Chain A
Amino acid sequence: MSTRPITAADPAAVARAGFDDAMESKITALLARYPTAQAALLPVLWLCQERYGWISPGIMEAVAVRLGVSPAYIQGVVTFYTMFYTAPPARYVLQVCETLSCAVCGAKDLLALLERRLGIKPGERTADGSFQIVGVQCLGACGNAPVVQVNDDYYEDLTPARLDSLLAELGRAR
């Protein structure tokens, strides 16, 4: 499985974005699924994050206008959920599960490897912006512990050696 890297959009470009026609037509299609505009919020935010890589204040404002709620409201929703990035992410976000089954099945060893190989801990990112580590809660793949989610993709039944190979593969990918 080859994981797609994230290309975070330039902040200046997304401030006060307003949506182009392609986005607009997707948003309109989403709005048709719900009786209220507000219910389309999470799908619209996903659309924005897929397009821009993160949710900037400018995007929050544009979404607020589009859906008819206050920008503060959007901020409240965006920051409630852990998966929306409110700062440009690294190209590969290594989400390491830290909860019970993974914890007792070697998650610590994976983190140790990541620190050895990349020099960073959870909450940090590499200087070249290619990797960042986030400690996350149960990913729902406990039978294949320990598990790491890289961007959209699950990598399961990991050992430090397998994780090492994965890093190498991602590092080579362009």
Chain B
Amino acid sequence: MSAEAVLLRARGNPSGRTLEAYLGAGGYEGLRKALARVPEAVVKEVSDSELRGRGGAGFPTGRKWSFVPKDHPGPRYLICNADESEPGTFKDRELIECDPHMVIEGIAIACWAIGAHTAYIYIRGEFVRWARILEQALDEARARGLVGRSILGSPFDLDIWVHRGAGAYICGEETALIESLEGKRGFPRLKPPFPAVVGVFGKPTVVNNVETLACVPHIMTRGAAWFASIGRSRNTGPKLYCVSGHVNRPGVYELPLGVTFREIIEQHGGGIRNGGKLKAFFPGGSSAPIMTAGDVDVRADFDGCAEAGTMLGSGGVIVFDESVDIVAAAANLAHFYAHESCGQCTPCREGADWCMDILDRMLDGHGRSADPDTLLRICRFASEGMTICPLGDAFALPISSMVTKFRDEFERRISTASPRPQKKLPALPWAGQRPGFGD
């Protein structure tokens, strides 16, 4: 298996970001090839590559593109999801930092494939620097006729705009992203209808992750068969794994999809810091069931993780050594999801908040015997279709797996001490109001 740098080939070269450097490395050849073929052929090539979405859901990209109805009068839209907010995930900014043109080329090819003439790069608000990098790259591309009217001399017109978010993890969910792009609160939509049929502005829309799109030029230049030769069936291509936490060498590592977590953590991540021992790890961002040290030989691909009862997700590997208090980690995550919940639907809004309160109370030394089972109950009824979107599952999976796999740590927090004193509630974070106009 090749450990060739495909996606991160320009990393380490500070001027590798320029259009000149990208062209010099064979950039935009994929776009040229795509434009010379019919869109259906491009969709087929991507389908044949078995590329699966790199944003977290792992949905086959070619199939997603094929859902766009052919007979719709349009317009159609492509959205590049650069919202990267899943804890433990930092690969998309790496791609944008090193090779923004690879992302732009992938967007352009995708637009040709689905018949979109407008694409938006929805990038999280905090990524100010990376939004600027993309804007500069787009300026270069426009100046060179790679974006805009009649790109590369073809009859295809294409506009690509950068659109900044403003601080909301939920806007990484494709329908919440679409709502946010439309200038609204980031509330996920009910599905069906699916974005491919009714998306942004009510039109057919495909939302793809940055890394997914970055793979596309390579599929066009080197072929689906080459892409599919990396990894294994239905789990193909190079993958950017993010390693963080208690390792010696945290960072982004480009590896063939399907290496084991042991290889990722020990070989590339440099093993546990300070000579410590692995206690647990999250395989794909924090929204997946936690894995214990015994799971290191699981294959870090979609099917491997699914078979092991977890999810590859975004490929953000968060590593814990034995210093980590699992109850504290669970509380930390509960705070995250409670803060990021959009608040629309009952089980997530109330359930995440409730989990946070229970876990804070346990950390405070006032755990009760019913708490672990109450946490499991809350998680059960905030997942599996109870909610509008998967954010419910996103907190239910990690928290319930932590309670189940590290039950003793939770049991140890159950106290026989007197009940907790009245909680002091924080002031409202947004307090721009005078109470009542008539008071």
* Residues of chain A at the chain B interface (Cβ within 8 Å): 33, 35-36, 38-43, 45-46, 57, 67, 76-77, 79-84, 86-87, 95, 98-101, 103-105, 123, 136-145, 149, 152-154
Do B335 and A98 touch (CB < 8 A)?
A: yes
Contact of B168 among A82, A123, A145 (CB under 8 A): A82
Give the residues from 73 to 97 in chain B that come closer than 8 angstroms, CB to CB, to chain A: 75, 84-90, 92-93
A152 to B132, CA, bound (A): 11
Q: Knowing A42-B180, A142-B250, A153-B128, say if A83 contacts B167 (CB, 8 Å).
A: yes
Q: Which residue of A lies closest to B325 (CB)?
A: A104
* Residues in A whose Cβ lies below 8 Å from that of B86: 138
Give Cα A142 to B250, complex, Å: 8
If A100-B88, A140-B90, A142-B244 touch, whether A152 touches B128 (CB-CB below 8 Å) is yes
CA–CA, A149 to B432, complex, Å? Answer: 24
Do residues A42 and B242 form an inter-chain contact, with CB atoms below 8 A? no
Residues of A within 8 A of B316 (CB): 142
Residues of B within 8 A of A142 (CB): 87-90, 242, 244-245, 250, 316, 318
Q: Within 8 Å CB of B342, what residues of A?
A: 80
Which residues of chain B from 320 to 348 have any CB-CB distance to chain A below 8 Å in the complex?
A: 320, 323-324, 329, 332-333, 335-336, 339-340, 342
B437 on interface, CB distance cutoff 8 Å:
no
Q: Which residues of B contact A138 (CB under 8 A)?
A: 85-88, 169, 336
Q: B201 at interface (Cβ–Cβ under 8 A)?
A: yes
For the complex, would chain A's binding face be called helix, strand, loop or mixed by DSSP majority?
mixed
Whether A141 pairs with B318 at a CB distance below 8 angstroms is: no
B339 close to A137 (CB less than 8 A):
yes
> By the criterion CB–CB under 8 Å, are B185 and A154 in contact?
no
User: With A143-B90, A143-B242 given, is the CB distance from A42 to B165 under 8 Å?
Assistant: yes
Chain B residues with a Cβ under 8 A of chain A? 75, 84-90, 92-93, 124-129, 159, 161, 163-169, 180-186, 201, 242-246, 250-252, 282, 286, 316, 318, 320, 323-324, 329, 332-333, 335-336, 339-340, 342, 426, 430, 432
Known contacts A138-B169, A140-B93, A36 near B201 by CB under 8 Å: yes
Residue numbers in B under 8 Å from A105 (CB-CB): 244-246
Chain B residues with CB below 8 A from A45, complex form: 166
Min Cβ gap B391→A in Å is: 13
Q: Which of A77, A86, A99 contacts B332 (CB 8 A)?
A: A99
In the assembled complex, which residues on chain B have CB atoms less than 8 Å from the CB atom of A83?
Answer: 125-126, 166-167
Closest to B427 in A: A123
Bound CA span A87–B165, Å: 19
**Which chain A residue lies CB-closest to B252?**
A143
The answer to whether A81 touches B182, judged by C-beta atoms less than 8 angstroms apart, is no
Given pairs A42-B180, A142-B90, A143-B250, 5 additional interface contacts (CB within 8 A): A42-B164, A42-B166, A80-B168, A142-B89, A153-B129
Give the shortest distance, in Å, between B331 (CB) and chain A (any CB). 10
Whether B201 lies near A104 (C-beta < 8 A) is no
Contacts of B127 in A (CB 8 A): 140
A139 CA to B85 CA in the complex, in Å? Answer: 7
Residue of B nearest to A57 (CB): B432
Determine the distance from Cα of A35 to Cα of B200 in the docked complex, in whole angstroms.
10
Complex: A75 Cα to B316 Cα, angstroms? 35
User: Please, how many angstroms separate the alpha-carbon atoms of A101 and B246 in the complex?
Assistant: 8
User: Complex formed: what's the CA distance from A41 to B168 in Å?
Assistant: 16
Among A41, A82, A104, contact of B329 (Cβ-Cβ < 8 Å): A104
